[in-house]
Amino acid sequence: MKQLYDVVVVGAGFAGLYMLFRLRGLGLSARVYEAGDGVGGTWYWNRYPGARCDVESMDYSYSFSDELQQEWHWTERYASQPEILRYINHVADRFDLCRDIQLSTRVTEAVFDEDTARWTIRTDRGDEVSAGFCVMATGCLSEPQLPPPFPGIEAFEGSWYHTGRWPHEGVDFTGQRVAVIGTGSSAIQSIPLIAKQAKHLTVFQRTPNYSIPAHNAPLDPEYERQVKASYIDFRQAARQSRIGFAVPVTETPALSVSAEEREREYQARWQRGGLGFGFSFPDLLIDEQANETAAEFFRNKISSIVQDPEVAETLAPRGYPLGTKRMCVDSDYYSTFNRDNIALVDLRKTPIETITSRGLRTTENEYEVDAIVFAIGYDAMTGALSRINLRGRGGIALRDKWRDGPQYLRLAVAGFPNVFMITGPGSPSVLSNMIVSIEQHVDWIADCIADLMERGGRTIEATPEAEEGWVAHVNEVGNKTLYPRANSWYMGANISGKPRIFMPYIGGVPMNLALRRHQPSLRLRRRRTTPTATSPRNTTRSDLIGRFWDDTAFERRVVPEDQHENGREEREERDDQQPSAEPAGRVLQVPHRVGRCKAGQIADRVDQCDAAGGGRTAEERGRQCPEQRPDRKHPDRSDAEYRHLVHRVREVG
């Protein structure tokens, strides 16, 4: 007999672990399947030299437990992979999560049964279980581009590695001739360390990147003390920023200030280091000319660091706007090209023809090497999801539905009831601090499941119209920016044959946050209850969700269990997309206003949410952030300052 669970979670990285924590809190049974031999997701696999997070460590951590965030101590401004992995394991142990996690197990298939409205999940180890809900915590950058797409790879007699599948025991390149292919974040972090160890390193670059110094250092104890003393404010600011961590912003467009003033701003941000550079001016991602001023600043920096002018010119990014491929954050990347044991090959001039038994051959030269490091990235955002044979209503496969590009409603896909995707396509995810987005999505999903159960419903899913509208909105907002100008993995351009669509949502974290903020707490009732009609005086959390979804191009329906004998009624409801006058809990169908949701409105909405009150986690709800309480303004921050943190979103809109 199949083991029954309320929820199956796929993946035990940051998202899967917190999802499990929340499900436990609701009293639900859950099973987490993880392909790795340990928890940690990205941070379990990415063990290449120099791997570290380019979001600062005080920001890149869970906020759901005050005890956890107070007791954990980060040692550096930017945490290294081993330290982040230690943190994740600490969280797993501290909250006793491992007993519900099955490691070394890859979910291969999940199939929806319309009669029972349950999912059958199968794994590569022969498990076959049944669950009411499936949560995909599969990560955005977890499906490495493997095997490397170069002919002749099987003939290579040396060793080769992909940065995203690095050997746990590490690799000693001492005395070796090494090739690194790729110059994205993984390469830019590993190249300085490999160059120090190897006898010789050749870097094969197809597209030069914009990389800014990290200025990494031991964590300043005074900064740590300050953050720990005001964590609620700190997290609040992160959630209200478009990218999930607060950075100083300027309101004045780049071209409306003098060249000297622009230079001063760029220089100050270069000096501080990190991804905040992208926020030097509000128009950098929407105005090509403004962007060019920042790009030129980078090129000048590169030529001032790299001594050989020809190498400097090869490293100088041109032809696509700064920030439209993921910016990199490095330690000594450009200066590494001043070493005498490193060479740079420009693949735009001399592409790789083949890997040979002794190295690789470009259209111009043959390079003999002992080891090749493929830092060539991932089938991003959709790769891991498409790899699972996920079959929804009528047996439709997700990978078929997504053949021409992902269709989604931020957390859900039409035709796939009770499946949620954490930080999937169409969400701010990879454009944000992942932990902030993850917590927001997980909280929403947990509350939604609890709500559905409370209302006696059995399935919830996106409607095709709302899904279509959301995809159109994501594209519309994305197309107002310069992002589509680059051949980036955001666009799926790095994978041959992948549809070219801007996959993440540029509207920012606050929009999703606003969804969350409108939800008062809810206790799961274990027995089914008779749904009651809503009234303004007796507003339930679902109504609030519904209303907000209305405002944000979402639509949801709840179909009660007793109407769900064989899914017939639900299919019928699906065919009728008119707003329903059904009482809440029976069928909740909210009219959607697709396309009207402008980024500016999103920001305004967030301000309103603050006024509406409502904390975020159970602990925070208990304590209530001062900004959210009309009677207690925070003494150190004005409303204007907080509004300031809801930056850039208006400009993008």
**Strands 371-374 and 177-181, bridge-based pairing:** parallel
**3-state secondary structure (DSSP) of residue 44:** helix
Closest listed residue to residue 291, CA positions, set 261, 318, 251: 318
Residue 376 touching ligand N01 (CB under 6 A):
yes
Dig out the tokens for 218 from the structure. 């031991």
Question: How distant, in Å, are the alpha carbons of 30, 110, 445, 450, 556 from that of 26?
Answer: 11, 23, 12, 7, 22
Would you give the binding string for ligand N01 spanning residues 55-74, x where CB under 6 A is met? --------------------
Q: Cβ contacts of residue 510 below 8 Å, gap of 6+?
A: 239, 240, 241, 242, 602, 603, 605, 606, 646, 649
- Could you tell me the smallest distance in angstroms from the CB atom of residue 635 to ligand N01? 35
Residue numbers 256-295 binding ligand N01 by CB under 6 A: none
CA 89 – CA 97 distance, rounded (Å): 10
Least distance to ligand N01, CB of residue 168, Å: 18
Distance between CA atoms of residues 200 and 344, nearest Å: 11
Task: Note whether 163 binds ligand N01 by CB under 6 A.
Answer: yes
* Nearer to ligand N01 among residue 321 and residue 377 (C-beta): 377
Nearer Cβ to ligand N01 (149/579): 149
Q: Which is nearer to ligand N01, 131 or 187 (CB)?
A: 187
What one-character-per-residue DSSP string does 441-456 give?
A: HHHHHHHHHHHHHHTT
Maximal CA-CA distance, the chain? 76
- Residue (of 201, 185, 64) closest to 616 by Cα position: 64
Comparing CB distances to ligand N01, the nearer of 377 and 406 is 377
The residue among 411, 402, 511, 533 whose CA lies nearest residue 461 is: 411
Distances in whole angstroms, Cα of residue 463 to Cα of each of 201, 236, 240, 458, 477: 53, 32, 29, 16, 21
DSSP 579: P
Which CB sits closer to ligand N01, 52 or 598?
52
Q: Site for ligand N01 (CB under 6 A): how many residues?
A: 25
Judged by CB under 6 A, the residue of 375, 445, 449, 609 near ligand N01 is: 375
In the numeric block, the tokens 């030097």 are attached to 280
Residue 314 interacts with ligand N01 (CB under 6 A): yes or no: no
What x-and-dash track marks residues 116-155 binding ligand N01 by CB under 6 A? -------------------------x-------x------
**Per-residue contact flags (x/-) with ligand N01 for residues 443 to 482, judged by CB under 6 A:** ----------------------------------------
CA–CA distance, 639 with 488 (Å, rounded to integer): 37
Q: 64: how many CB neighbours lie within 10 A of its CB?
A: 22
Length of the chain: 653
Q: In the complex, what is the shortest distance from the CB of residue 357 to ligand N01, in angstroms, rounded to a whole number?
A: 20
Scanning 23-31, 176-184, 299-307, 619-627 for contacts with ligand N01 by CB under 6 A, the matching segment is 176-184
Position among 181, 201, 243, 254 found at the interface with ligand N01 (CB under 6 A): 181
- Applying CB under 6 A, among 13, 278, 282, 377 the residue interacting with ligand N01 is 377
* Whole-number CA gyration radius for the chain: 25
Residue 53 interacting with ligand N01 (CB under 6 A): yes
Q: Which of 123, 185, 190, 433 is in the footprint of ligand N01 by CB under 6 A?
A: 185
Is residue 162 a contact residue for ligand N01 (CB under 6 A)? no
| Stretch of 48-56, 227-235, 365-373, 528-536 lying at the interface with ligand N01 (CB under 6 A) | 48-56
Residue 494 as a binder of ligand N01 (CB under 6 A): the answer is: yes
Binding site for ligand N01 (CB under 6 A): 52-54, 141, 149, 163, 181-187, 189, 206-207, 326, 347, 375-378, 430, 489, 494
